[in-house]
């Protein structure tokens, strides 16, 4: 999915914003689990987003060792702008496609999302067990 896209944005940071917008406040570990990312990576992204005042952090009252991450109004506005631009870009890319191709794409993407939700986590666990050393770029 990332092929052909600009690196003007960081997909993990967008994922953090989206996760806390939809279900926040969340612990950093919960965000990592939702995104399938390393907790240390999420911590760094949360720090960057907090410095930009797009999220705020506070100790978790249930466990003072953990922090809760919550989106700010500025973060919500930034996420909304990002999603709007994404919709505009996607719309421009497929603008000349015949309607039946757009319908087929939508149907296949819906199927992929459903199948990924059902089988993806199990397959990821199996793959990570086979690759016990992880990948160099994925280590904290």
Express each pLDDT in 89-126 by its tens digit.
999 999 999 999 999 999 999 999 999 888 887 887 77
pLDDT tens-place string over residues 35-82: 888 888 899 999 999 999 999 999 999 988 889 999 999 999 999 999
CATH no. for 1-95: 1.10.10.10
Answer for the pair 20, 71: CB distance below 8 angstroms, yes or no.
Answer: yes
- Could you tell me the two tokens for 9? 């944005």
Residue range 9-21: mean pLDDT, rounded? 91
- Note the pLDDT of residue 121: 77
Task: With H, G, I as helix, E, B as strand and everything else as coil, classify residue 127.
Answer: helix
Buried residues in 3-21 as b, exposed as e (16+ CB within 10 A):
eeeeeeeeebbbbbbbbbb
Question: In this structure, are residues 64 and 75 in contact, taking their beta carbons and an 8 Å threshold?
Answer: no
Where in the chain are the domains?
A: 1-95, 97-140
Q: What is the rounded CA–CA span in Å between residue 8 and residue 26?
A: 26
The residue length of the chain stands at: 140
State pTM to two decimals. 0.72
Cβ-proximal residues to 54 (8 Å cutoff; 6+ apart), any chain: 17, 71, 72, 74, 75, 78
Q: With a cut of 90, say whether residue 1 has pLDDT above it.
A: no
């Amino acid at each position: 999915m990332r092929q052909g896209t600009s690196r003007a944005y960081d997909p993990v940071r967008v994922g953090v914003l989206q996760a806390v917008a939809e279900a926040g406040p969340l612990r950093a570990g919960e965000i990592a689990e939702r995104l399938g990312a390393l907790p240390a990576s999420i911590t760094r992204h949360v720090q960057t987003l907090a410095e930009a005042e797009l999220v705020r952090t506070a100790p978790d009252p249930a466990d003072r060792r953990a922090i809760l991450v919550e989106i700010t109004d500025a973060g919500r506005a930034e996420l909304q702008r990002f999603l709007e631009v994404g919709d505009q870009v996607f719309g421009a890319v497929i603008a000349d496609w015949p309607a039946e191709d757009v319908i087929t794409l939508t149907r296949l993407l819906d199927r992929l999302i459903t199948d990924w939700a059902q089988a993806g986590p199990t397959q990821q666990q199996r793959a990570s067990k086979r690759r016990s050393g992880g990948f160099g770029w994925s280590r904290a």
